[in-house]
């Protein structure tokens, strides 16, 4: 499924729709260059889950946990990860195979440990369509 957005609000709204529809144990992976809108999308998902506290990229930790919404929300940003051992140290499988919702920014950096059963989201720019245009490809989910 491909969805095109023309501004951050539309990307947020798409995330929100996905957050509202999320079911326990789902894992979402987010791929795309720096500044493409992964965090904007994530903020939408959090809002769709009923989380009202601000969601930003976890800079000093690999995972940020939000318990306030309809389901626990585990927001990973693995951009700065050195090796997979760091994921093992935080006990990633409790998150990946638990009942909450996992969303992983820069998931391609930990490809080897990603669960097979996941929803993959790729966000791309196309400057020929304007600065704020984004093409969002979602695999593994029916909306
Ligand atoms: P990432 O997490 O991928 O590094 P961010 O979500 O932090 O990126 O930042 C995306 C930036 O792009 C924000 O400043 C946002 O306002 C801007 N932007 C412009 N158009 C869009 C769009 N269509 N969707 C998402 N973000 C957009
Ligand atoms: Mg980000």
What ipTM goes with this model?
0.98
pLDDT tens string 50-60: 999 999 876 77
Ligand 1: nearest atom to the Cα of 30 = 3
Ligand 1: nearest atom to the Cα of 57 = 2
Among the bound ligands, name the one nearest to the CA of residue 131: 1
**What's the rounded Cα separation, in Å, for the pair 102 and 90?**
14
**What's the rounded Cα separation, in Å, for the pair 122 and 37?**
10
Q: Domain spans of the chain?
A: 2-125
CA 40 to ligand 1 center in whole angstroms = 6
Cα-based distances in Å from 40 to 7, 98, 113 = 10, 24, 25
Would you say residue 142 has pLDDT above 80? no
Instruction: Give the pLDDT score at 143.
Output: 72
Decide whether any atom of ligand 1 lies within 6 Å of the 140 Cβ: no
The CATH architecture annotation of domain 2-125 reads 3-Layer(aba) Sandwich (3.40)
CA 5 to ligand 1 center in whole angstroms = 11
Instruction: Give the pLDDT score at 46.
Output: 97
Instruction: Give the pLDDT score at 57.
Output: 77
CA 16 to ligand 2 center in whole angstroms = 16
Q: Of 141, 139, 142, 132, give the one whose Cα is nearest residue 10.
A: 132
| Mean pLDDT to the nearest integer, 105-121 | 94
């Amino acid at each position: 499924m491909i969805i095109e957005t023309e501004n951050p609000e539309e990307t947020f709204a798409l995330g929100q729709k996905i957050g509202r529809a999320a079911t326990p144990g789902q894992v979402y992976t987010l791929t795309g260059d720096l500044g493409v809108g992964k965090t904007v999308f994530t903020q939408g998902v959090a809002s769709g889950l009923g989380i009202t506290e601000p969601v930003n990229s976890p800079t000093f930790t690999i995972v940020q946990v939000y318990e306030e919404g309809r389901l626990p929300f585990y927001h990973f940003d693995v951009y700065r990860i050195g090796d997979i051992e760091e994921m093992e140290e935080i006990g990633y499988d409790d998150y990946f195979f638990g009942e909450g919702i996992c969303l992983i920014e820069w998931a391609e950096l930990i490809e080897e440990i990603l669960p097979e059963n996941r929803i993959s989201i790729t966000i791309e720019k196309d400057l020929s369509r304007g600065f704020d245009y984004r093409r969002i490809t979602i695999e593994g989910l029916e909306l």
